Every structure is written in structure tokens, then in C-alpha cells.
Structure 1
Amino acid sequence: MAIFAKRALLSTGWANNLRVEIEGGRIAALHAETSAQTDDVSVDTLLPALANLHSHAFQRAMAGMTEYRMAGRDSFWTWRDLMYRFTTHLTPDQIQKIASLVYMEMQEAGYASVGEFHYLHHQPDGSPYDRLAELSDRIMAAAVETRIGLTHLPVLYSYAGVGKKPLETGQARFGNDVDRFCMLVDQAKDALGNLPEDCRVGIAPHSLRATCSGDLARVLATHGEGPVHIHIAEQPKEVSEVMAGLGARPVEWLLDNVHVDANWCLIHATHMTEDETQAMAASGAVAGLCPVTEANLGDGPFNGPTFLNAGGSFGVGSDSNVLISLTEELRTLEYSQRLRDLARNVMVVGEGSVGQTLYCGAAKGGAQALGRDAGVIAKGKLADLIAIDCQNPALCALTSEQLFDGLVFSAKDEVVTDVWSAGRHQVRGGRHVARDQIVSNYQRTMADLLAKL
């Protein structure tokens, strides 16, 4: 198959009248200054598609249910208690139907792939399903239905806090010791045979709160190569707890005690010192930023300027999925920096387009975090591609040099016309090809779920 674009951003810069030939899910050839052929898919402007590097799919079903202020002070921790109670009612089939909707919405927003940070493993009372990886199978089934590029990240969640605190009742569905976790990961890897070849399985030690140094070392020793994601330094209370229990701040402790490299993605990394920020950038790890969720939960802003100036890599994710919007994640990232620093055009090194820095940086960093050979349009790369309509009123007055600034700061996701996930053309004319069935299934699922809440 082939795509013909009036304009496309290649790894070498803008190209006009470009034909992109795709074979086996990868870009086989690029021909600039040419014309469309009969069977080509013709689009306006072609860009590398982003990876959504951090998702808890099931939380999408809670969107709008936690914004009522209760007595006292609401926080991340009160939100977490509500989330725990919500999870006790979810069935495997409901989890699959919710994930299908989430992945469809991600693709319609312009994401070609997703990192599913999956910690919902067991039955409501904590007992395992007959097949330990039952709920991982359901996530993979949603990826098959939507044909999104999946990096599945089973989560090791063993403790309620630093010092091996026993799991709380609401965490029963999450818990595994190292041996059972490794069995679960092996089952998930075996199930990859049912997915497209670009899909991957990594691991996700949940946090320094939910594991311990010995368990972390054992899991990393068995994992080998591939993505490793971890929640780190999301909340001040988390930082205080880790300092009290481990004698160092979370990012500081991790970098001093574990070999962190380009396979790692440190999710949130919100509360860091300048030294931690520079050291994290030097490690090669990706900062997994979730600006919409971080704002929704009151986490605080990332230390963006220091990280970028130190050469750090970053990507974005929708985390709680309270709102799935590629453009909103990127603009919220920049706006969080502006509000903190009382300045404009913060997330760029030196001079240049903030929008392009955000978009292209997130494209490359997200691909790295998910272990996908993508993030740029170049021969041999996975065909993770997005087409946008530059005749849309939000973009029609802009030059190529202004396009990313318009896309990030002025446009809505409605400018997305087409999305390919490793060459799979799943969004056409702004709609996912399986939208109607997926939405219908989700609506029935939510009616059944709400009847039990």
C-alpha cells in the first residue's frame, strides 16, 4: 500500500508531494516531488504519530465521577480510594470493552500505539483467575480489536508502602510476589503470538512504594532487554515516604541503586531537585509525562526546562484517561511550565518552535519508551503515521514553520483525518473503522456496571 501526502515531515525536514510505500508494517520507500497513483491513500499533511506511553485503560470508565468536592481536602490520595472501590466491580469482559473504547479514542486523537501500565490482575477478592494472565489477555484482545500498537506492561505490585507494608483491601486485585509476577509475564509473552508483530511486553515495577529493593533486583535480573516503566516521585507524600524508608529521594535512590538506561521510562518524575533532574536526563531514561492527569490529580508540574537543557528525552501519556487528547496533553505540558515560571515559550532549548519541540520530542521519546522503532518518518521505520487537515480553520493560515505551533496550541483533535498503526489504517476520515461496534459495546458495558455500583 502507499500514502500520497501534499506535505510530510521527514527526519530530514519537510517534503512536498511525497509517496510513502509501506510493506510489512514498515516504511519501504519514500518518493518526494512525485504524484499520486491510482490506489494511493491521499492526505493533506503527514506526520509521525505519537505513542501514548502511559495508560490505565479501566480508569476511563470513571471519568467525570470524581470531580465532586467532598468534605475536607480532596487530593490524589482521596481519588485513589475512590478508584480502589470502583475496581472491585469490574469483570474481565467489562475491562476488555472499556479498553477497546480507550484505544479507539487514542487512535482517533492521533496516537498510533499505547503503553498499558496494567496492574489489575486478579479477581475482586485477590484470588487469581484460572489463567493467571486472564486480564492481560483482555487488554490484548482490545488491542486486537482496535489494532493499535500495544506495549503491554504487567505491573509488579506487592506492598502498600515502603517497608513491605501489607496490601490494603482495595489493592487485592493488584498483588503478586516476584515468582507469581514472573509467571504472569511469561504467560503474557506467550500470548503475543495472537497480536501483530510490532506489539511488545515489558515490565512495570509499580513504584518504590509497592516493591522493595530485593524484589526489584530479582525482577530486573529475569527481564533482560525491553521496556521497564515505573511510577516515580508523583506526589510530595510519596517523596517523604521513600526518604524515610530508603534514605534518599525516589529518583535519587533509583539512579544510585539500579542501572537505569534508555530502556527505562520514569512516569511523572514530578518532584525532583535540579541534581535529580540532570542525572535522570543523563541516564537516557524517558520522562513519562501525563500533563492532563497530573493537573487533574493536583500532582504539580514537571521540571521541564532543566530536563530539556540537560538533553533529556520525554513522551506523553493519558494515564487516568479522564480526557484522551493528544493536543491537550502537549499544550497542558507547556502551560504548566508557563504558570509556574510566569513566562512564555518555556519548553524549547534556545530559540525555536515550542510546538515542534513538544510534538517531535514526544514522538521520539514515546517510541523509545515503548520499544517501538518509530517516532520519525524514515525508510525502515514502523509506519506509525498521522494525517492532519491543514485546511481546517485552526491551521489554514499557517506556514510549515508555524504548523506545529498551531497544532499544539490552537487545534483540536478533529484535525486528525487518518492514523496508521504499523501500517494498519485504522482511522479514516477522522473515525476509527470499528467505532460503531466499539461504542455500542461500551455503552452496554457501562449500563451493566452502573447498575451494580
Structure 2
Amino acid sequence: MIFAKQALLADGWARDVRLSIEAGTITDAVPDASAQLGDTRVDTLLPSLANLHSHSFQRAMAGMTEYRMAGKDSFWTWRDLMYRFTAHLSPEHIEAIAAFVFLQMQEAGYASVGEFHYLHHQPGGAPYADLGELSACIAAAAQTTGIGLTHLPVLYTYGGAGQADLQAGQARFGNCVDRFGELVARARHAVSALPGDCRVGIAPHSLRATSPGDLAAALDAHEGGPVHIHIAEQPKEVADIEGWLGARPVEWLLANAKVAREWCLIHATHMTDAETRAMAASGAVAGLCPITEANLGDGPFNGPAYLQAGGAFGIGSDSNVLISLTEELRTLEYSQRLRDVARNVMVVGEGSVGEVLYTGAARGGAQALGRKAGTIEVGQLADLVAIDSTDPALVALQQSQLLDGLAFAAKDSVVTDVWSAGRHAVKGGRHIARDQIVARYRAAMASLMASL
């Protein structure tokens, strides 16, 4: 049982809420209640967000790509450095990094993660004896941390638009469609040992890393559940796809695949107004990663038009250069303000920007990961986060302003507790397995740096 002084329920704020959880699901939420002996007591209870897009291994290279080289740095120069880095990662490194990343996500207030996993093979590209070995590493990290995992094995067949050959740095990613089916089966086996809220979807990497025929075949073979894809992140990508397929990426995808609620289109940064409206109408979730998109110089999402069209969105930490739920929310809004030279942009009409950002990302993130979550109500997974409204960053705010304070004035340090489908992994702002996970990460980094 959880007793909260105040909680944001599905129908609004309530005080003195006593929450019952059974088998990871909320079974009762009673306002104006009294705390009972043995209840876990918190200050302010919110539905937790899902981190809908992560490449966990990239956390280990955070800070290594911020030195300007000769010429103009871009996403594409960053990608070359990332490829070289992956050549040195072992299964032990990958599991230790993922566990540390998941811990940081939970301490930041996320209850679940969509791991967009494209590092499949040995250095050089030879498959492991178990095709799903590295997926099993991700599953093991989720088991260690207790985070809710939606594992998304990636189909990555080509090195660029027009079915270009894989580059040497992409060899660890590559699979044909048939072998990808085997990989997904092995990933399902690995994730089957996790709690029942964890699941497997698929992730065609991007239009440039697949082909129309391969994409159709992978979708036909898909057994149901989330489908995630990178799309329209960079102007060069848009130009390359338009030159090859005769249409812009989002335009082509919506016309050639049955994009619907189970889809998550990652980035979708460079869209026309028509594409923006059509994507919103599809029911798919826009997977926005504002910190990474800023770090890589991708550009801002077309937020106002997308919200006006009723589009769903969620947030992810992508490259994991910085894992911060509050910073993702404010960077999303600030990217819109900088582009439009305006304030309070991500809201239709009038209202609280923080509320739109937080509750929208909670609902959209849960949808993208195939989790029955995103609100606090009976029948939903107990994906919950508690924050301290007496923190100096929030103490002066009224209840109706708390989400604005969280999004724009607070740091993740206001998080006190996190539950993932009822698993209470963060207590007092600290993950319950922090010491052992951090020690293992430090040892892995020492080993990795010695090999570079």
C-alpha cells in the first residue's frame, strides 16, 4: 500500500490518497483516506514516465565526442566515432552499462524503457553462438534493476539509402530479414524470464537501413506489439530517401505501411506541415529525444502543429549523453521557444505547459512501449513516481503549478521513489541496488578504456 499526501489521479489532483497494488497493477485508489500502519508514505505521487527510446551502450561514450574536429561536425561525424567505439564492447561491458543506465533512468523518475537494440554480433560481424546473446545482456540488466523493459531488436540490413553495403563499423548491427526473425525469437526467449509487464517489439532501424521489401517482410512476420523506427532525423536523410524512393521519409512510410497506435516514429524532426498532420492522424507516437536532438544538432520538432492536430508524443534519452527526465521536458519546450521566439509554446490554447508536457509524455510513452500505464487509476500498471513538493525548487508552488515547477524549475533530485509495475526500486532518491551496479559499471569502464 502507498499513502500519498497528494496524487495526480486520472481525473485530476486528489489529497490523502491510499493506493492498493496487486501483481503489479493498481487495484484501488482512494482519496481522502487515512494512512495505515505499514503503508509506504510519500509526499506527491505521479504516474511515472516511460523512456521510450534508448541506446544504452552509448552512455559509455558520453563526453567523448564534444571536441571539434577540422571541418564541420555533424550527426554523421558523431556516428563515425560511435561506430569505432562499438568495436571494443564485450557482452560483459554491454550488460554493465545497461544496468547503470537503467538505474540512472529510474533515479530520474522513469519506470520503464524502450531499448532500441542494434548491437547484435561480435566485433567484425560474426554472430555469437546464441544469436540473442546481447539481447540477453539487456534482459539481465533489466532483471538486476527492476525496470519495465520493452526490448526492441533492430533490423539493420543496409549501410544507407538505396541498399548500400554495410560499412565496416556497421557489421555488428547487420541481419537479413530471415536472420532477424531468429534474433527476435531469441530475444523473446530472453525476455520471457522477466516479469510479465516486460515485452518485445521490433525496430526497423530506419528507411535508409532497410528496403521497402525487407520492411514489408519484417512487418508481415511481426507477432504484434510495438514497432519503432528512426525517421526524418536529419536533412541529409530526408534528401537521400526522397532521391531514392521518390517521397520524403514520413510521407513514404505513411503511404506504404499500416502505421497506427502501436508505432513510434523516433525524431520525425524534419516534416512538412502535411506530414505533421498526417502523422498525428495515424495514431502513432512521436518519439522525441530533446537532449540528444540538441546534442547532435538535429533541429527542433514541429511541436505546435503536431499538438494542434491531436498527435501523441513521448520522450526518450536516445544516446544517453545525459539522463534527466526534467531536462528532457524543458529542452523540448525550450527548443520550440528558441525557434519561434515565443514563450509557452507546447500547449493548445491556454493552460499549463508543464501539465501538457508531463501528462502527454506519460500517456504517449506508455502507448509506445505497449504498457497499460501513463495514468493512476484502477487496472493500470503501478508505474509510479513520488516527488517531494517541499523541495526548495517546488515549495512555493500551488498544487496546480507543481508540474510546471517539475518541468522548468526542478532537477531530478526531487524524485524520492519509483515503482515499475509495483517493483519499488528507488527509495529515498536512491536505487536499492546502486552500490553493486555502480561498482560493476566502474570495473567495466576500466576494462573498456584499457582496450581503446
* Alignment TM class, shorter chain as reference: over 0.9
1:189-217 per-position Cα deviation (integer Å, ceiling 9, x unaligned): 12222101000100000000000000000
- For structure 1, the residue ranges without an aligned partner over 5 or more in a row are none
Q: Distance in 2 between matches of 1:274 and 1:31?
A: 44
1:261-287 per-position Cα deviation (integer Å, ceiling 9, x unaligned): 000000000000000000000000000
Instruction: Tell me whether 1:259 sits opposite 2:258 in the alignment.
Output: yes
Residue number in structure 1 paired with 2:362:
363
1:403-423 per-position Cα deviation (integer Å, ceiling 9, x unaligned): 111000000000000000000
Instruction: Tell me whether 1:110 sits opposite 2:109 in the alignment.
Output: yes
Report if the CA contact (8 A) 2:136-2:191 is conserved. no
Residue number in structure 2 paired with 1:18:
17
Instruction: Tell me whether 1:396 sits opposite 2:395 in the alignment.
Output: yes
Residue identity matched to 2:107:
E
Residue number in structure 2 paired with 1:93:
92
Instruction: Tell me whether 1:288 sits opposite 2:287 in the alignment.
Output: yes
Instruction: Quote the offset at 1:30 in angstroms.
Output: 1.1
Q: Distance in 1 between matches of 2:51 and 2:260?
A: 20
Equivalent residue of 1:194, what SS? coil
Residue identity matched to 2:347:
V
Residue number in structure 2 paired with 1:187:
186
Residue identity matched to 1:411:
A
1:140-189 per-position Cα deviation (integer Å, ceiling 9, x unaligned): 00000001000000000000112111100000000000000000001111
Residue number in structure 2 paired with 1:348:
347
Residue number in structure 2 paired with 1:408:
407
Q: Distance in 2 between matches of 1:124 and 1:311?
A: 44
1:386-435 per-position Cα deviation (integer Å, ceiling 9, x unaligned): 00000000000101111111000000000000000000000000000000
Residue number in structure 2 paired with 1:151:
150
Equivalent residue of 1:208, what SS? coil
Residue number in structure 2 paired with 1:334:
333
Q: Distance in 2 between matches of 1:313 and 1:274?
A: 16
Instruction: Tell me whether 1:225 sits opposite 2:224 in the alignment.
Output: yes
Q: Distance in 1 between matches of 2:340 and 2:14?
A: 36
Equivalent residue of 1:144, what SS? helix
1:65-85 per-position Cα deviation (integer Å, ceiling 9, x unaligned): 000111111100000000000
Instruction: Quote the offset at 1:450 in angstroms.
Output: 0.3
Residue number in structure 1 paired with 2:417:
418
Q: Distance in 1 between matches of 2:439 and 2:431?
A: 13
Residue number in structure 2 paired with 1:313:
312
Q: CA RMSD in A?
A: 0.4
Bigger mean CA offset, 349-358 vs 185-194: 185-194
Residue number in structure 1 paired with 2:441:
442
- What TM-score do the two structures reach when normalised by structure 2? 1.00
Residue number in structure 1 paired with 2:28:
29
Bigger mean CA offset, 218-227 vs 16-25: 218-227
Residue identity matched to 1:230:
I
Q: Distance in 1 between matches of 2:38 and 2:191?
A: 32
Instruction: Tell me whether 1:56 sits opposite 2:47 in the alignment.
Output: no
Residue identity matched to 2:349:
G
- For structure 2, the residue ranges without an aligned partner over 5 or more in a row are none
Report if the CA contact (8 A) 2:387-2:417 is conserved. yes
- Could you list the runs of 4 or more consecutive aligned residues of structure 1 that deviate by over 2 angstroms after TM superposition? none
- What TM-score do the two structures reach when normalised by structure 1? 0.99
Instruction: Tell me whether 1:161 sits opposite 2:151 in the alignment.
Output: no
Q: Distance in 1 between matches of 2:18 and 2:273?
A: 45
Q: Distance in 1 between matches of 2:270 and 2:435?
A: 42
Instruction: Quote the offset at 1:53 in angstroms.
Output: 0.1
Residue number in structure 2 paired with 1:83:
82
